[in-house]
Structure 1
Amino acid sequence: MSTPLLRVENLTGGYGPVPVLHEVSFDVPSGTIAAVVGANGAGKTTLLRALSGMLPAVQGSISVSGSPVLGVPTEKLVHHGVAHVPEGRGVIGELTVEENLRLGGLWRKDRADTKRAIAEMYEMFEPLARRRNSSGHQLSGGERQMLAIGRALVARPSLLLLDEPSLGLAPRIVDLIMTVLRDLRDRTGLTVVLVEQNVHSALPIADQAIVLALGRIVVATSAAELVMDSDFRTAYLGF
């Protein structure tokens, strides 16, 4: 059996002396989308912050492509192929769209491919192409989300950690973002861990569903099986 791109084993940690996550373990195979779902307060955002090194872990391990990354500083994880788009989008408002995208490739030595990657972002997110000289402050919420994702993708990650990309956005923008994620998985083999409150958007594009409740995994199954299990959906997801 091949090594999963992301392996999490017995991860325990959180914001203080009382852990939010409790012995969380799961694998994400390469070239798949794992949707992490659950009620508010389940620990979904905490999990992504722990995976990206923004929160300390009390115990457990995290590996990417077989390499241990637990304890690696957040800014160094990009060298392991990890990109994190946190909730709130994090666009630098004083910079233009073009300048924000360039930041995504700042550490890369292959300048020609960085330029190609930026051009690809304009193709995938057409609204950004029309606003390339606009500052981040001038963008709509949907445009800022596209820009945050695009900037992460310019780094050519193998693993994208994406936190609540649909939050507060119009349905057509959510559909565009989900379509881009699905197409990148299919075309480039990108692996995605997608935290989403909007399960109706996340589950249709996901291969795997990881359901959190009170910081523990209550089920990890195929997204299709979770959609079919009405009793479980009602109990943990409310629909």
Structure 2
Amino acid sequence: MSGGLVLADISAGYGAVQVLHGINLNVEDGSITAVVGANGAGKTTLLRTITGQVRPTAGTIRLGNGADLSRVPVEDMVRHGVALVPEGRGVITELTVEENLRLGGLWRQDRKAATAVLADMYDLFEPLARRRKAAGHQLSGGERQMLALGRALMAAPSLLLLDEPSLGLAPKVTAQILGMLRRLRDDTGLTVLLIEQNVRSALAVADHGVVLNLGRVVASRPAAELAGDTDLRHTYLGF
């Protein structure tokens, strides 16, 4: 199953308010693409449109295998290999770490495979292995982000979508979380679309960077090239 993603001329919004204007975006299979921009740039609306929470008014959204995501119900995204880690982490605080993780693999028919993936999550996120019986509300912010990421990975996605994973985290924890994305890309070929306001960290981990401004793509280049463009950074990214 290909993890690539192609958006062609996507427009979307809320009622009469159009937020996205003709977005073209190509997320290559096995890569990390970071979408960055200031508040109000349209980053979260873009992610909601990809996942079907907002329906586009124009354009197409296709996976690398040709599947048309714009026609897929939200609840069926996981069966197409798409997993989302929403802003705010979305951990069910009343459940334990292990219960949250198992919830992410519920759709899988093969119980043995789900158990094997659970073991993989504990290998990847060692702090969760130590706290597997702890309730979600007992975890630190970094541990909750690891848990949200682990739960999404329990579905064995080919495309992982993350909305502001560094929000509220200390710089050291942010570096650890984003570093795990590179490890996953390198070890498993996972494709990642990262929506992030922490521009420096996002571009440091990404292969490709896309800058949004007022719902339009103003730059799409290799991440290192974007990070080195002083004029563009000052104009659109604030540093």
The TM-score with structure 1 as length reference comes to: 0.96
What is the CA–CA distance in structure 2 between the aligned matches of 1:113 and 1:188, rounded to whole Å? 16
| Alpha-carbon distance in 2 for matches of 1:4, 1:177 | 20
**Could you tell me how far apart the structure 2 residues matched to 1:111 and 1:230 are?**
51
Kept after mapping to 2: 8 A contact 1:56/1:71:
no
Contact residue 3 and residue 159 of structure 2 kept, 8 A: no
Alpha-carbon distance, 1:173 to partner: 1.3
* Correspondences of 1:119-130 after superposition (within 5 Å): 119-130=119-130
Match of 2:68 in 1: 68
Q: What is the 5 A alignment of 1:195-206? A: 195-206=195-206
The one-letter amino acid paired with 1:214 is: L
Residue aligning to 2:135: 135
- Residue type of the partner of 1:202? A
Q: Is the 8 A contact 1:5 1:28 kept in 2?
A: yes
Instruction: State how 1:186-197 maps to structure 2 within 5 Å.
Output: 186-197=186-197
2:113 maps to 113
Residue 4 of structure 1: how far off its partner (Å): 7.7
User: RMSD value over aligned CA atoms?
Assistant: 1.2
- Distance (whole Å) between structure 1 residues aligned to residue 88 and residue 130 of structure 2: 22
Question: Counterparts of 2:230 and 2:7 in 1: how far apart (Å)?
Answer: 28
Secondary structure at the residue paired with 2:165?
A: coil
Q: Retained in 2: the 8 A contact 1:43–1:215? A: yes
Using a 3 Å threshold, how does the CA distance of structure 1 residues 168 and 4 change in structure 2: closer, same or farther?
Answer: closer
226-235 or 36-45, which deviates more: 226-235
Quote how far apart the aligned CAs of 1:5 are. Answer: 1.2
In structure 2, C-alpha distance between the alignment counterparts of 1:172 and 1:137, rounded to whole Å:
21
Q: Distance in 2 between matches of 1:15 and 1:96?
A: 36
- What SS does structure 2 have at the residue aligned with 1:67? coil
* DSSP 3-state at the match of 1:127: helix
Structure 1 CA distance for aligned equivalents of residues 122 and 59 of structure 2: 39
Q: Give the deviation of 1:71 after TM superposition.
A: 2.8
Q: Give the aligned partner of residue 165 of structure 2.
A: 165
Question: 1:16, CA displacement in angstroms?
Answer: 2.1
Aligned 1:35-184 pairs, distance under 5 A: 35-65=34-64, 66-184=66-184
TM-score (norm 2): 0.96
Measure, in 1, the Cα distance between the counterparts of 2:211 and 2:67: 25
Q: Is the 8 A contact 2:3 2:191 kept in 1?
A: no
Contact 1:13 1:55 in 2 (8 A): yes
Residue 79 (structure 1) shift: 0.7
Amino acid at match of 1:114: A
1:149 aligned partner, one-letter code: L
Structure 1 residue 114 displacement after superposition? 1.4
Please say if residues 42 and 214 of structure 1, whose CA atoms lie closer than 8 Å, have aligned partners that are also in contact. Answer: yes
Contact 1:160 1:192 in 2 (8 A): yes
User: 2:208 corresponds to which residue?
Assistant: 208
Structure 1 regions of 5+ residues with no counterpart?
none
Q: State the partner residue of 1:223.
A: 223
Query: Does the Cα contact within 8 Å between 2:3 and 2:158 map onto a contact in 1?
Result: no
Runs of 4+ in 1 over 4 A off after TM superposition: none
**Cα offsets for 1:133-180 (capped at 9, x unmatched):** 011111111111110110000101000000000011112211111111
How many aligned residue pairs are there? 237
Q: For 1:175 and 1:121, how far apart are their aligned partners in 2?
A: 19
The CA distance in 2 between the partners of 1:203 and 1:223, in whole Å, is 5
CA distance in 1 between partners of 2:160 and 2:85 (Å): 8
Aligned-partner residue type, residue 32 of structure 2: I
